[in-house]
């Protein structure tokens, strides 16, 4: 990952780690699903694409995605200088890093405990 992209991903993850409670779901599968949905919707919102939540679960993800997109726009004006493909690439790298930090690289054994 190039230095500018790496720095930007770190800035975006830093916001999630400090401000988003949804990162603390108690199971791997729930974290995976939430990361995919929230970051997927956030990506669409940042790219100016419509997001139409249909289920109650989708609506919960949409609220988190909307708040995250707004916070990103407010705190990181450099986002406005990126094209749609660049935003998609950046958000894909963010998603990959977030999954590592909250799921695959986590030392929290309760995330995969079948009896918890």
Tens-digit pLDDT profile for residues 17-62: 999 976 666 677 688 899 999 999 999 999 999 999 999 999 999 9
Here the tokens at position 65 are 């995605």
Longest Cα pair distance anywhere in the chain, in angstroms? 48
User: Cβ(46)–Cβ(94) under 8 Å?
Assistant: no
Structure pTM?
0.89
DSSP assignment letter at 58: H
């Amino acid at each position: 990952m190039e230095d500018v992209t790496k720095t930007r991903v770190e800035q975006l993850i830093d916001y999630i780690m400090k401000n988003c409670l949804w990162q603390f779901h108690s199971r791997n599968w729930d974290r995976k699903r939430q990361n995919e949905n929230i970051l997927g919707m956030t990506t669409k919102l940042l790219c100016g694409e419509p997001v139409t939540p249909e289920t109650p679960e989708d609506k919960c993800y949409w609220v988190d995605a909307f708040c995250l997109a707004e916070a990103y726009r407010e705190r990181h004006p450099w986002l406005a200088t990126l094209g749609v493909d660049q935003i998609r690439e950046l958000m894909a790298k963010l998603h990959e890093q977030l999954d590592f930090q909250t799921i695959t690289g986590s030392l929290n054994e309760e995330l995969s405990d079948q009896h918890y």
